[in-house]
Amino acid sequence: MAVSATVAKTAPLSVRGLLLGTMWMLASLSTTTFAQIQNYFVNAETGVIDMGRFTRTVAFICACVHSLAAIGMWFSSTAEEPARPDELEAADAIADGSDAEEDISAAEHILLPISEKDAASDTSTASQLALNKQIVLEPVFMLLWWAAFIFWGVDYTYTSNVPRVARKILRAHAPWSSNETLQDAERLQLQLVSISCSVSYLVFGPLSDHIAKRLAKGHYLCLAIPSFCYTFAYLLGMFAHSITTLSIVSFLMGIGGSGFTLAIAIFCCESWGVQFYGVAV
């Protein structure tokens, strides 16, 4: 999330969504890495996976990475460079001339034509409408973000249990399968989740960024599509009885979870700026 805030702040607006989507696409490939790490927690004789040990190990790795990111955000936001003597002198000069400038600006305001005063009034009204819009949408987006946070935890739990579900289904339909075949099925499901996340980021990144720049009507569509997709996949996964169904669930989960989270991140950044985005997530 710290890297997302940096990209959103520095990237050109025309390619911001594409850069964010590409960055998260590369990050989502870590799921395949976890699938390879999981091989070290499989009993070669019985083929049973110690999911508790594997989940704790992955959680420890993720906690370390997020801790480093949090520390980096903290120091980058609190560290300030000491002011140089020339900057202090320039600040004093500006302060000395501020009173004179205020008197001149007040006199100019009195002499402004009526049309310019009306333009200034329209600008003030537009700013007030934007502020009211922010007050209305802020709690909505915060609730959506918390929903995405909860969904993200469910998504990780599902991803961690996909191999066990795949093994159970394959063993029920093909009891004669070897341990190598079962392990291949487990790794395949995790790779499907990783690939679907990658595709989702490339699609929902530019799409959500394009809609967020307008924020007029229908901007919830980019949030509704992945959220419904995610919910349907979660319900479908509860009744999966074949590898094909589980593969479809893997793709839907990847598209729903990643697209929903990325869309909210872009909307928050677009609506309230990078500072709010960094504090919120």
Q: Give the per-residue pLDDT at 171.
A: 77
Q: Give the per-residue pLDDT at 146.
A: 52
- Confidence band (pLDDT; 50, 70, 90) for 166? confident
Q: Give the per-residue pLDDT at 58.
A: 66
Residue 94 lies in a domain: no
For the chain, how many structural domains are there in total?
Answer: 1
User: What is the average pLDDT across 50-55?
Assistant: 68
**Which residues, 6+ apart, have CB-to-CB distance to 36 below 8 Å?**
187
**C-alpha–C-alpha distance, residues 220 and 229, integer Å:** 14
**C-alpha–C-alpha distance, residues 108 and 102, integer Å:** 10
CB 129: neighbour CB atoms within 10 A? 10
Residue 130 lies in a domain: no
Q: What is the pTM of this model?
A: 0.42
Q: Give the per-residue pLDDT at 261.
A: 64
Q: Give the per-residue pLDDT at 245.
A: 77
Residue 239 lies in a domain: yes
Residue 149 lies in a domain: yes
Residue 63: which domain range?
Answer: 2-77+138-280
Instruction: Read off the pLDDT of residues 119-163 as tens digits, 9 standing for 90 and up.
Output: 445 555 555 555 555 555 555 555 555 555 444 444 555 555 666
| Res 114 pLDDT > 50 | no
| Average pLDDT in the chain | 61
Q: Give the per-residue pLDDT at 80.
A: 46
Instruction: Read off the pLDDT of residues 203-258 as tens digits, 9 standing for 90 and up.
Output: 776 776 666 666 554 455 666 667 677 777 777 777 777 767 777 777 777 676 66
- By residue count, the chain amounts to 281
Highest-confidence range of 9-13, 15-19, 139-143, by mean pLDDT? 15-19
Residue 133 lies in a domain: no
Rounded to whole angstroms, the maximal C-alpha distance in the chain is 92
Q: How far is CA 237 from CA 20, 190, 232, 233, in A?
A: 29, 14, 8, 6
Q: Give the per-residue pLDDT at 134.
A: 52
- Confidence band (pLDDT; 50, 70, 90) for 279? very low
**C-alpha–C-alpha distance, residues 29 and 183, integer Å:** 19
Residue 123 lies in a domain: no
Residue 52 lies in a domain: yes
Residue type at 102 in one-letter notation: E
Residue 38 lies in a domain: yes
The tokens describing 279, both together, are 């504090």
List the Cα angle 54/55/60 in 5-degree steps: 100
User: What is the average pLDDT across 17-35?
Assistant: 64
